[in-house]
Structure 1
Amino acid sequence: MAEQYFTADPTCESKQVPCSFVYRGHGLNFMTDAGVFSKGELDTGTRLLLDALPDVYGDVLDLGCGWGAIGVAVKKKYPAAHVTMVDVNRRALELCRFNAVRNGITAECLESDGMAEVMERTFDFIITNPPIRASKPVIYRMFADAASRLNPGGVLYLVIRKQQGAESCMKYLKTLYAKVDKVDKSGGFWVLRATEPLKKENEAQEEAADAHV
């Protein structure tokens, strides 16, 4: 069985392949590798996701960053943004750090199982091409964690292939966020935007209790 790209320590032989693309007027050059998602090319879903983003600002999280396409592209175009990139795959993170330097940007690259290592922080943008093959519970946990870590006015952007559960994903997001929209639907993918996280009952009770202290 082929090794999955969400493995923490890929054991497959390293086979590095360069990749280049242009994002909003900026030429970007990357190194990719076996054992990391989308070796040798910018995948269609990530391209659609990047193209759908508005002007990005503030604290930005590239969740499941792979070799760094989203985080590096966003930071290059919007240098004032503070970009953090996280992934469970150590080979991906090595590439991510290399690609940040290669493209002349500064960003944090952290080893993290989902959002585990950034749950004490909040973000204005959380952007992800989630690891669908890691299982529905894994990616749904990522979406729920994102809902709890957005700043007021913050937004989650994600892309998912229609045939890999885009409709059920959107239905689940609506249990977490007051507003969930399709911002693009092309090439067999849906790009979704989720804003205004819903407070869970226990969170509302805790806030009410704090208010009476």
Structure 2
Amino acid sequence: MTSLNHYALGAVADWLHRVVGGLQRTEPGYKRIRIAPQPGGGLTSANSSHDTIRGRIEVSWRIADGEVTVQACIPPDTEADVVLPFHPQEPVLTVGDGTHSWRYPAPANYGEAANLSMASPIRDLAKKEPTWQAVMEVLQRYFPGLPLDASAPEAAAMSLNDVLQHVPGVSIELENDLKTALATTAAPEVRKE
């Protein structure tokens, strides 16, 4: 029998509540809390809640249509220090019980694909079909029949730099051809290194 009651699973849930959802206790009995969501990794929304002796605490945030929206529901007899993610003035607000909502402009380009380079993970390169095709054409030209599956766990996190380090006799021409393939297939989104 496999137990699901393991620290590893609890640690993930704790991280999701404290970091992604931004919900943390700062005084015993949840008399005072901190709400400080930390969007990242391409996440555009999250909801977090916790039942306390004072009532349910709820926090949600969303980044959409160029705006950040943060909502919090604070139970009676509780205070919250709120840190609004990506807020231009980086304010820390103290609020009491009730429902609170904030809306402000999102950072420019939040959620857009990162620039692709020789250091980008293969899984990111494979998401851009023209880029992946160009990279594969270069690799097949130098190494016909080279198996490179972007969905394979052992390859997905590797970068092209990593791949080149594991292939003996790599020429500077191969590296330059890969950089050219990256630069020409998605010029506005891809940068050379």
TM-score over 0.5 for the alignment? Answer: no
**1 or 2 for the larger relative contact order (CA 8 Å, sep ≥6)?**
1
Could you tell me the TM-score, scaled by structure 2's length? Answer: 0.23
Bigger radius of gyration: 2
Could you tell me the TM-score, scaled by structure 1's length? Answer: 0.21
